[in-house]
Amino acid sequence: MSWRRCVFRCERKSTLFGLPKEDTARNLWLRFIYSPVPEQYNTNIRVCSAHFTEDCFLNLGEYKAGCAQRLLLKSGAVPTLPGQSGASDSQLSTSQQALGSERLSTSSRSRDVSCQTDSIETLPAASPKTRSVGTQLSLGTLKGTHARSKGTQSSPPITFPPHKRPCLALDEEEGDTDISESIAEPHDSAVTEESGLLEQTSYNVSKYIVFESCLRELFETCPLCETKCDVQCRRMGSYVSFTQHCPKCSYHRKWESQPVVGSTPVGNLLVSAATYFCGASFIQFEKICKAMQLQIIQYDTFRRHARNYLEPAVIHKWNLDQKNLFSKLQEGGKVAVAGEMRADTSGHSAKYGSYTLMHPDSDTILDMQLVQSDEVGGSFHMEKEGLKRCLDHLEANRLTVEYITTDRHPQIQKFLRERNIVQFYDVWHFEKGLSKKLDRLSQKKGCEILKKWLCSIKNHVYWSATSSTSGPEKVAKWTSLLNHIQNKHIHENPEFPKCAHPEKVSRDPKKWFQPGSMPLYKVEKILNNKRVLKDVEKLSHHHKTSSLEAFHRVILRFAPKNVVFSFIGMLCRLYLAAMHYNENAEREQATTTSGQPMNKVVFSKSKKDECTAKPLKAAPSYDYVADLMKLVFEEVFADPAPFVEELKQIPIPSFLSSQFERPLKEEAVDRHISCFSQGAVESLQTVHMYQGTPAEHWGGRTQVFCPK
């Protein structure tokens, strides 16, 4: 039987009422509906208003006067009338209408605005004011018949499914610490009793900052008799509701600032989602809101939202986007990739290491793997493990790597040789390592002439790498540099017998390296090193990892190195950075109103006297944030179970401290105090070195040993 109609199949438009929560009243309802009461029955059945007497309604007169949208039942009301098929609420019997007119003056006029509330804060009564408040509705508007206020109506609403969200092994929204009551009320829920569906809400409509003083003025006076009213305020994070009651005419209504689904205000979830998806820090955002006294959710609520809805949505969207990208690349056969690792901290003390594979032809992030240091025995081995996981993931999706461009990490070289994958070295990393050695050499006495050639040598690195794909020819062009710095343009190497540029004769011999000199010998030792010559043959002739360096700068916006994240939190922020980069990697150059391309002047950090002009890119887009918002509010929030299961499939390593035995907090505090006190005493005793001090002196220093 459909619960959208009366259980007695009354063909009419009327108000439907569900079974009461109280057991006594529920049993009376069931005895009226079923005779006898069955062991099993549909809990979603509805009974229309035609089966109740006039004294069962709380707002009969107000409903007939047009001040209420639907009838309200009194607590404990029981249906007793058989009803009339085809009748409606407006076609009540004459006796009912007469009785309703007599009860109008004494019954409470009520207007239900579906308020989900928490703790109660009684506001002080104030004298009525006639000044209109532009931020909300006027007093004349309140006298008419209106549906439940939703704040805004500009965007299409979102329909949530009628079924109840499955219970997860996760914490649900319970509100902030300043809430003393439960937000869910039996008769003021966000469920429409006429249809049984969750209230339709919109998340992509405009929002405004409204002062509480402006809201109070809307509820201070009664819209019917203009008498000073009793007002109660209820808060929950960014959510606020007001309950207005007139002591003279018993006018009653409730208003809420935002829709509420289940026990979660939509605005509170929006704050968490916008903060997380944009890569912002909730702690910093909370400081901003506290500075301006803007009500906001607490950090614990933010973490519940992230754990239950936001992080599962990020994982799902990344997997979906990656699957679509792999499908496109499978059509083109083998792929060329570039890879590099990024650590969350500098040096070998990093906790996390993320290895990234990029498709250089489309400048798109293909895959990212996050590795914790204790998984591989230390930070030094994270790069190899990250690359291994990336390559395994590509092979599992039927993608064959043609060649890969990386840095010159020895572990990576050996690993790729064992997997029979062609490897090329990134030119920038090669030039960076070589330039450091040459810069140190140019600082030494007698080698100052090398400073004039540093820029030319750097340019020669890129020219040798990109001019040809043949290894021996690259080496021949590379070794010709030594003849060039001596002003020799004819070479003995048959692969490259002569320089391609025209000969330039200089009258100043100090510009060139002299044959047999010590500076030339030291430069030749660096440039003709066996490892250098071997690496020159494998320099990448086409692709570079400079785009990966740019992507690593994007990661800093989402996962700064001075902030500690959990494993899933770090992984989700890496995925968000990848979504942002993939969406904005191929941005066009910005133009003026007349269509002229725009450029910017950038000064070099290392060369303070030099500047270069670079094209100014257009403003980035954030379509991925809109997609994530839609995913959260239309799918994840309605049924988070499958998304959470997808997240649980990711293997999460244990905490680094889990391998150690955790001492009691009291013992750690006592040890710290005892160590500090003992150190202070021994420091005073070491002032007089030869007066029987117990401190131990060694190497001119005083060592204080604290008891363990």
Task: Locate 653 and state its tokens.
Answer: 């390593």
pLDDT averaged over every residue in the chain: 76
What's the confidence (pLDDT) of residue 500? 62
What's the confidence (pLDDT) of residue 494? 58
> What H or E segment, with its residue span, contains residue 357?
strand 352-359
pLDDT at residue 665 greater than cutoff 90 = no
**pLDDT class for 84, splitting at 50, 70, 90?**
low
Q: Of residues 541 and 640, which shows the higher confidence score?
A: 640
Q: CA nearest 246: which of 257, 266, 231?
A: 231
What CA–CA distances, in Å, run from 565 to 350, 455, 571? 13, 41, 9
Task: Locate 342 and state its tokens.
Answer: 């990024």
Q: Of residues 295 and 500, which shows the higher confidence score?
A: 295
The answer to whether residues 577 and 569 touch, using CB atoms and an 8 Å cutoff, is: no
Task: Locate 387 and state its tokens.
Answer: 């690359």
The length of the chain, given as a count of residues: 708
- Quick one: average pLDDT of 438-444? 86
The answer to whether residues 87 and 72 touch, using CB atoms and an 8 Å cutoff, is: no
Q: How far apart are CA 275 and CA 576, in angstroms?
A: 12
Q: Helix crossing, 427-442 with 518-527: angle to 10°? A: 160
- Quick one: average pLDDT of 254-269? 89
Q: Of residues 39 and 636, which shows the higher confidence score?
A: 636
The answer to whether residues 73 and 25 touch, using CB atoms and an 8 Å cutoff, is: no
The DSSP output letter for 633 is: I
Q: What is the CATH number of domain 316-426+541-584+623-662?
A: 3.30.420.10
pLDDT at residue 539 greater than cutoff 90 = no
What's the confidence (pLDDT) of residue 199? 41
Segment among 54-63, 170-179, 186-195, 523-532 with least mean pLDDT: 186-195
pLDDT at residue 101 greater than cutoff 80 = no
Q: CA nearest 10: which of 118, 71, 91?
A: 91
- Quick one: average pLDDT of 438-461? 82
| Residue bearing tokens 């993320």 | 354
What's the confidence (pLDDT) of residue 702? 44
pLDDT at residue 482 greater than cutoff 50 = yes
**pLDDT class for 682, splitting at 50, 70, 90?**
low
What's the confidence (pLDDT) of residue 357? 94
What CA–CA distances, in Å, run from 108 to 117, 200, 249? 21, 28, 7
**pLDDT class for 513, splitting at 50, 70, 90?**
confident
Q: What is the pLDDT of residues 183-238, one digit of tens each?
A: 333 333 333 333 333 344 567 888 899 999 999 999 999 988 889 999 999 999 99
pTM beyond 0.85, yes or no: no
Q: CA nearest 204: which of 630, 623, 628?
A: 630
Q: How far apart are CA 268 and CA 102, in angstroms?
A: 45
Phi first, then psi: give them for residue 342, nearest 5 degrees: -130, 130
Give percent above pLDDT 90 in the chain.
Answer: 31
Give percent above pLDDT 70 in the chain.
Answer: 71
The answer to whether residues 46 and 7 touch, using CB atoms and an 8 Å cutoff, is: yes
**pLDDT class for 579, splitting at 50, 70, 90?**
very high
- Quick one: average pLDDT of 649-678? 82
pLDDT at residue 144 greater than cutoff 70 = no
Tell me the pairing of strands 401-406 and 422-425.
parallel
What's the confidence (pLDDT) of residue 302? 95
Q: CA nearest 235: which of 296, 168, 322?
A: 296
Q: What is the pLDDT of residues 349-368, one digit of tens each?
A: 889 999 999 998 889 999 99
Phi first, then psi: give them for residue 521, nearest 5 degrees: -65, -40
Q: How far apart are CA 386 and CA 548, in angstroms?
A: 15
- Quick one: average pLDDT of 252-256? 91
- Quick one: average pLDDT of 598-611? 77
Q: What burial class does residue 220 get, using C-beta atoms within 10 Å of its C-beta: 0-12 exposed, 13-18 middle, 19+ buried?
A: middle
The answer to whether residues 449 and 513 touch, using CB atoms and an 8 Å cutoff, is: yes
What's the confidence (pLDDT) of residue 155? 40
Q: What is the pLDDT of residues 65-83, one digit of tens each?
A: 666 778 888 888 889 888 6
Assign residue 598 a region: left if phi > 0, alpha if psi is -120 to 50, beta otherwise? beta
Q: Quick one: CA dihedral 580, 584, 586, 589, positive or negative?
A: negative
Task: Locate 25 and state its tokens.
Answer: 């009243």
- Quick one: average pLDDT of 656-682? 76
Q: What is the pLDDT of residues 621-651, one digit of tens each?
A: 999 999 999 999 999 998 999 999 999 999 9
Sketch the domain layout of the chain as residue ranges. Answer: 16-106, 111-143+169-198+207-309, 316-426+541-584+623-662, 428-536, 587-620, 665-703
Q: What is the pLDDT of residues 363-381, one digit of tens each?
A: 999 999 999 988 988 888 8
Q: CA nearest 385: which of 405, 395, 370, 400?
A: 370
> What H or E segment, with its residue span, contains residue 697?
strand 696-698
Q: Which residues contact 260 (CB under 8 A, 6 or more apart)?
A: 116, 183, 190, 199, 239, 266
| Residue bearing tokens 């704050």 | 271
Three-class HEC string of 215-283: HHHHHCECCCCCCECEEEEEEECCEEEEEEECCCCCCEEEEECCCEECCEEHHHHHHHHHHHHCCCCHH
Q: Is 602 helix (H, G, I), strand (E, B) or coil?
A: strand
The DSSP output letter for 191 is: B
Strand partners, 265: 260
What's the confidence (pLDDT) of residue 442? 85
Segment among 235-244, 367-376, 515-524 with least mean pLDDT: 515-524
